[in-house]
Each structure stands twice: as C-alpha cells, then as structure tokens.
C-alpha cells in the first residue's frame, strides 16, 4: 500500500491482481484489439453536488440545452420495417415521430401539428398509418412530410402549402437502431459515435433482433439511474453472491472522447475482495454452472492448463449455438461471457457480448423519476425470418423485473441494481454534506457523464 501513496491521482489500480486487459490477454483465444485498447486519464476528484439530481432548474437546463442537442436512439429498425410504420419517441418535453415513408426512407419529424401544435401521434405509440393526420382539426401530411390536406383552406389564404412541410429532425442509423437529434446543426452521427463503429465492426449488432423489451419507471433522476450501471464497484455489496465469479475491483474503465465510455469486467475470475479461501478453477466452473461446491457428480471438468472461464465460454457457445442455430466458436472467451459495456452519452448502453445481450436507455420523467428501457438482443438465424419486436413489458416502480419471463436469471439482478435508487434519492435530499465523492478510476465514467452534461449546458 505504501507504493500506492506515491502514485499521482488516477494512477492507482487494484493491487495484487491483474487488470481485465491482462486477464483476457491470457485466455487461450486472446482478445480483440478493441477490448485491449486503453483510454483513460485522470479527470478530477471534486465532489459532485446532489443539487444536480434534485433541482428543477438544473433539470430544465438539461432539457433545453442538452436533450435538444444530442444524438439518441429512438427506436429499432425492426419497429418500422414496412412503409407506413411509425414510432413515437419522447424525451423530457420533446417528442418525435419516426416513419418509414412512401419512398422507403426513414424520416423523423417533430411530433407537433403546424396548425395549433397538437401531437400528430400520441406519446408512447407506434403502429401503421397512410398519412400523418392531426386528430384535432384534420390537417394532414404525407409520410414524406408534404401538407396534403388543409380543411377549409379558403380560410387560410396566408398558408402556402409548399412552405408547410413538416419540419424534419436529424436522423440516421447505426447497429440496427434509428438515432435522432433535435438540433438542426448537429454534427453527423458517425462523428458523434467516435470509436463505436470501429469497435463494433466485428460484432454485427445490426444482425440481431429484439427478443425482450422491458420498460420500467425508476424513483430517481435519470443520471442516478444511468450511473448505477457505469461501474462494477457496487458488485461487492449489491451483487454479493457474484463475487466468486466476477472480477469487479480489477475491472477496466476507458473513456473515448466526449460521447463514448466503456467498462469490461471478467466472468469466471474471483473478485479481488476474496482474499482467503479463493476457489479453485474447478470450483469456479461449478459455481458458474449452478452446482454446489463439493458436488463431484458433474461431468464437466476443467482440464489441466485451462481455466474455468475458458471451459464455461465453450459451454455457452454450444448452448447458445443450439438455441439460435448459429456457430459462435469464432468468438473469443471475453466476447462470449464477459460484461463488456459501452455507454453512448447521454443515455444509451450497448453490450456486444454473446451471453449478456443487453441494450439500455434512460430518459428523464420529471426530476425524481426516470424511464428505463431494457432490451435483450439475440442473433438472427441466417435464412430465417426473425421475430418482430415484442410489445414492451411495462413495470411500475415497485414491480420486479422477474415478472417478465424474458429476463431469466437477470431479472433478480436488475432488482438488485435498481432497488437502491429510491434510498439514494432520499439520501440526496437528506444529506448535510450535499455532494457525492467518487473514486478516481472505478467511478470515472460517472464523473465524465457530469462533465459532458456541463459541456452542453455551458456551450454558447
């Protein structure tokens, strides 16, 4: 520990244990270059005021200066596969309607009639339409945004139909998702995404379909909700049953520019917090397979010279291959089983791994509440039609994720992840300290989130 005291802020790493990059490099399969790319620098250690989570004025600044300026995924391409399909995306006070037009183009419009402002499609809705008609007075636009019908047009000599096309939002696609930006001067999506397209080029996110969709209301500010998933520091206490198979304290954290950050933590490596009686490789494999320690009846053994994570990865590849009629033997161990999580500022998380197939999105719902969208993406079967997206399973604040069968064993894990949020929100308001103190490395992504929020709020 004396050596750690001589390090500059941000240089310290979990002592006496290899980093995640070192661990995945030792796997028999090696690891992709993207996973081994390192991008971290110390970005400060000042406390983060709780006012940022509970202030209505701060939330309003986010709404007007940030949410209106950032790229964010609104829906999946599978939500609008046919001409006439539409999907409404809401965030803060903003609303957009995304359609597949008559020319088979994806268009995004402000969800507001040019007559008296009524939403053209209800918030949270999706479906099929031949046109975009205001439900109040019937002004009607084509799917390409052209004003086609104005009732009693004799009373509107001042309206030139050619000048009343629906205003479009910036719209683009990546990884099978439709992204929108309410800022007409926004830079292209590909520039915004930074390293993401390059890092995901071999992971074929666009070749996956939505198997499960859960939408849950959370009792906290959207930033607090997102931050709950930005670090593995919470594993020791929140997911204590996982410490024998999760490398938490030696996880890797990387920040790639303004909009992309990442963590990777290993599965099949015992937490550095376990100092005494660390399990053997065989015992780790038994835990991963759900077998009781000491149960010698199982037939799966860790061969000499191999590791539990290598054997477990092969089992996962075989089981998933059978279930999804695909060959996953080309994947490395880390791509198969590890928790690899990319964050796209301000509210999206993408996991490229095979076993952990998640996509997250967090949106504000007032100051003290947030909307959490959880998707599971699964590989499409070549030559077969894949299922269309299921209707979201809607959960209220007190509902368990386990009510949705599609979440499997992860349902209980998500309960653990979000059960702390109400207590945290109440603690924000009760705290005499008035601010949180973050770790320099393990919680660097949470600090980075706040810094980029400020960058948008403060820009001229």
Reported as a single tens digit per residue, the pLDDT across 363-417 is 999 999 999 999 999 999 988 999 999 999 999 999 999 999 999 999 999 999 9
In the numeric block, which tokens belong to residue 368? 């003290």
Q: Provide mean pLDDT across the span 40-64.
A: 97
Reported as a single tens digit per residue, the pLDDT across 323-373 is 999 999 999 999 999 999 999 999 999 999 999 999 999 999 999 999 999
Residue 67 pLDDT > 80? yes
CA–chain centroid gap for 213, Å, is 13
Q: How many helices (H) and strands (E) does the chain have?
A: 15, 20
DSSP 165: P
- Beta-sheet pairing, 106-110 with 94-100: antiparallel
In this prediction, residue 292 has a pLDDT band, given cuts at 50, 70 and 90, of low
DSSP 280: P
Cα separation, 363 vs 63, in Å, equals 11
Helices (H), 124-206: 189-192, 196-199
250 in Cβ contact with 14 (< 8 Å): yes
Q: Could you name the CATH architecture of 2-52+206-458?
A: Alpha-Beta Complex (3.90)
Reported as a single tens digit per residue, the pLDDT across 294-317 is 556 567 999 999 999 999 999 999
Crossing angle, helix 56-65 and helix 444-458, to 10 degrees? Answer: 70
CA–chain centroid gap for 418, Å, is 15
- pLDDT at residue number 183: 97
Query: Which residues are paired to 435 by β-bridges?
Result: 49
Positive/negative CA dihedral, 285, 287, 288, 291:
positive
- pLDDT at residue number 3: 61
Q: Which of 443, 448, 438 is nearest to 345 (CA)?
A: 448
In the numeric block, which tokens belong to residue 129? 């339409």
Q: Looking at the chain, which residues constitute the CATH 3.90.380 domain(s)?
A: 2-52+206-458
Q: Provide mean pLDDT across the span 132-158.
A: 98
In this prediction, residue 460 has a pLDDT band, given cuts at 50, 70 and 90, of confident
Crossing angle, helix 281-288 and helix 308-324, to 10 degrees? Answer: 30
Count the neighbouring beta carbons within 10 Å of the beta carbon of residue 190.
12
In this prediction, residue 291 has a pLDDT band, given cuts at 50, 70 and 90, of confident
Q: Looking at the chain, which residues constitute the CATH 2.102.10.10 domain(s)?
A: 72-190
Please state, rounded to an integer, the average pLDDT across all residues of the chain: 96
CA dihedral 318, 322, 323, 329 (to 10 degrees): 40
Cα separation, 212 vs 161, in Å, equals 43
Residue 174 pLDDT > 70? yes
The percentage of residues in the chain with a pLDDT greater than 70, rounded to a whole number, is 97
Residue 179 pLDDT > 80? yes
Total residues belonging to the chain: 460
Provide φ and ψ at 5, rounded to 5°: -65, -20
Domain 72-190: what homologous superfamily?
Rieske [2Fe-2S] iron-sulphur domain (2.102.10.10)
Count the neighbouring beta carbons within 10 Å of the beta carbon of residue 104.
8
Reported as a single tens digit per residue, the pLDDT across 199-227 is 999 999 999 999 999 999 999 999 999 99
- pLDDT at residue number 411: 96
- pLDDT at residue number 294: 54
């Amino acid at each position: 520990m004396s050596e750690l005291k001589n390090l500059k802020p941000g240089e310290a790493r979990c002592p006496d244990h290899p980093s995640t990059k070192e661990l995945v490099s030792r796997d028999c399969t090696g690891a992709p270059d993207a996973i081994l790319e390192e991008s971290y620098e110390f970005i400060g250690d000042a406390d983060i005021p709780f006012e940022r989570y509970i202030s209505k004025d701060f939330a309003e600044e986010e709404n007007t200066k940030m949410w209106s300026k950032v790229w964010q995924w609104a829906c999946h391409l599978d939500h609008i596969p046919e001409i006439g399909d539409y999907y409404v995306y809401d965030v803060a006070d903003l609303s957009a309607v995304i359609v597949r037009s008559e020319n088979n183009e994806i268009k995004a419009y402000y969800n507001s009639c040019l007559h008296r402002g009524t939403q053209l499609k209800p918030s949270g809705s999706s479906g099929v339409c031949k046109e975009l008609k205001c439900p109040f007075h019937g002004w009607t636009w084509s799917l390409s945004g052209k004003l086609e019908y104005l009732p009693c047009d004799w009373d509107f000599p001042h309206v030139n139909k050619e000048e009343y096309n629906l205003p479009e939002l910036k719209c683009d696609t990546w990884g099978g998702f439709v992204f929108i930006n309410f800022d007409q001067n926004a830079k292209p999506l590909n520039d915004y995404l930074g390293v993401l397209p390059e890092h995901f080029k071999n992971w074929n996110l666009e070749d996956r379909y939505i198997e499960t969709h859960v939408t849950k209301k959370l009792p906290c500010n959207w930033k607090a909700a997102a931050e709950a998933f930005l670090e593995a520091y919470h594993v020791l206490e929140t997911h204590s049953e996982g410490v024998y198979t999760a490398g938490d304290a030696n996880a890797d954290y990387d920040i790639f520019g303004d909009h992309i950050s990442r963590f990777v933590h290993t599965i099949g490596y015992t937490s550095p917090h376990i100092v005494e009686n660390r399990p053997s490789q065989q015992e780790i494999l038994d835990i991963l397979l759900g077998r009781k320690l000491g149960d010698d009846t199982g037939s799966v053994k860790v061969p000499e010279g191999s590791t539990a994570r290598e054997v477990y990865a092969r089992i996962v590849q075989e089981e998933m291959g059978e279930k999804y009629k695909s060959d996953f033997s080309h994947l490395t161990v880390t791509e198969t089983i590890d928790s690899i999580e990319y964050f796209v500022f301000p509210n999206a998380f993408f996991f490229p791994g095979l076993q952990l197939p998640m996509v997250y999105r967090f949106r504000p719902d007032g100051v003290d509440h947030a909307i959490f969208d959880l998707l599971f993406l699964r590989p499409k079967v070549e030559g077969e039609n894949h299922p269309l997206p299921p209707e979201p399973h809607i959960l209220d604040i007190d509902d368990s994720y386990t009510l949705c069968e599609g979440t499997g064993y992860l349902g209980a894990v998500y309960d653990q992840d979000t059960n702390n949020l109400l207590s945290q929100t109440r603690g924000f308001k009760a705290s005499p300290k008035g601010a949180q103190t973050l770790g320099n490395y393990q919680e660097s992504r949470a600090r980075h989130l706040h810094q980029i929020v400020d960058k948008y709020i403060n820009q001229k």
